[in-house]
Amino acid sequence: MKRYLTGLLAFALASSPKIVLAAAAEGGGILNIDPRALVIQICGFVILFLLLKKFLFGPLQNAMATRREEIQTTYTRLEEQQDALGRRQNDLERQIADIEAERRNRIQEGANEGQALREEILQDAQQQATQIIEQGRQMIRMEQEKAIATLREEMADLAVRAAERLIEENLNEDRHRRLVSDFITRVGS
């Protein structure tokens, strides 16, 4: 744009004196333009153009360049923030997946521990039941042995008494059979 404006100004300055001189030579020319006024207007235009270039176009171009840089910086910063947000989102999604996996693992571990505890309790109960049954069997055996020992003692006592009776009485064969039969009946009951 700067080249375009400079070229336009150069063309205007170069062609203006020729037009003014040609019009003056013909006696005022077709348009009746006063050459002095034209030169003054051209000089005013050039001065105005230079003032506008210095005070308007220069600062305006500087402001536009500054604004362009600000927009580019903002755009770059937004892209960086968007990339950072994308990375953060990926990190959060990965953390959520890790937390979910950890939760599932803990639930599975709890279920496994519960199953192990259940099996341990059942095994302990089975062992206790086996011990109680074995203790009951031992008690029954001991009671049986006591009963057998008591029964033997009673039988021995009865045998001794029967022997004493036999000795005390003179027994005949019938009497002897009857005593043995009585003895067997008592032992049987």
Map out the domains of the chain as residue ranges.
Answer: 2-98, 154-188
pLDDT at 56 over 70: yes
Region 159-184: mean pLDDT is: 73
pLDDT (tens digit per residue) in 117-149:
999 999 999 999 999 999 999 999 999 989 988
The sign of the torsion formed by the CA atoms of 153, 155, 161, 167 equals negative
Region 96-101: mean pLDDT is: 95
Q: Which residue has the tokens 């009671």?
A: 143
pLDDT at 69 over 90: yes
The H or E element spanning position 51 is: helix 35-52
Angstrom distance (rounded) from CA 164 to CA 65: 145
Q: How many helices (H) and strands (E) does the chain have?
A: 4, 0
